[in-house]
Amino acid sequence: MKNSIKNIISALVLVASISFSAVAGDKEVKKVTGFNSGIYASKDGKIKVNIDKYNDASTAILFQDSKGKVFYREVAGKHDKKLRREIDITQLPAGDYTLEIVSKGEKQTKEFQLLEKVVERSIKMD
């Protein structure tokens, strides 16, 4: 009798622990981020930033060099759901740069490296 009670209690504890861990795992999978972003460089010397927000919080965009000098800063309002921005980088010197997007404690970072433009020379002969 004692062994069967111990077995039943052990089985209940095992089932309960599996159930609780399964529920905790589901919460992690269902976690929704507050925003999505697409960041890319175009051939015309601009960085395109697309942000789709899913929260009601302000969103900050910050573009700076490796020394911390800020070249672009913007704070979008709480109710802006879609942000489409272009950052002109044609006049910036070569170097390392970082673009950060922050909203309600979430942060996405993208690093860029601007290289010197190679100039080709052509020769025309008559």
More confident residue, 17 or 56: 56
Q: What was the pLDDT predicted at 9? A: 54
pTM across the whole model: 0.65
Torsional sign, CA 21, 32, 62, 92: positive
Q: What is the mean pLDDT of residues 36-63?
A: 90
Q: What was the pLDDT predicted at 122? A: 76
Model pLDDT for residues 60-111, shown as the tens digit of each residue: 999 999 999 999 999 998 888 999 999 998 888 999 999 999 998 899 999 9
